[in-house]
């Protein structure tokens, strides 16, 4: 008889992948109006907060956003 494991599903926040690169960002929440993203690049040992630019949709360090 196959083992049956009870699981619980959660809605995962969106993930953005860098075009032509290896960086990725995960949204802080699943709220579509939240614009805070955390860099989740494999091998990175620090956390950088980013926002998606309202001008061109590119990822910008939160402190650099105008």
Q: Please answer whether residues 25 and 40 qualify as being in contact, where contact means their C-beta atoms are separated by less than 8 angstroms.
A: yes
End-to-end CA distance of the chain: 60
Task: State the virtual CA torsion across 42, 46, 52, 55 in degrees, nearest 10.
Answer: -110
Strands (DSSP E) found in 1-66: 15-17, 24-27, 37-39, 49-52, 59-61
The pLDDT profile of the chain, 66 residues, written as one tens digit per residue, is 556 656 566 667 777 788 877 788 888 887 777 788 888 777 766 667 888 777 777 878 766 544
* Reported pTM: 0.56
19 close to 37: Cβ distance less than 8 angstroms: no
């Amino acid at each position: 008889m196959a083992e049956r494991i009870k699981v619980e599903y959660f809605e995962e926040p969106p993930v953005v992948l860098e075009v032509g690169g290896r960086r990725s960002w995960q949204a802080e929440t699943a709220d579509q109006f939240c614009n805070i993203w955390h860099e989740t690049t494999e091998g990175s040992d620090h956390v950088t907060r980013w926002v998606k630019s309202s001008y061109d949709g590119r990822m910008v360090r939160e402190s650099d956003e105008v």
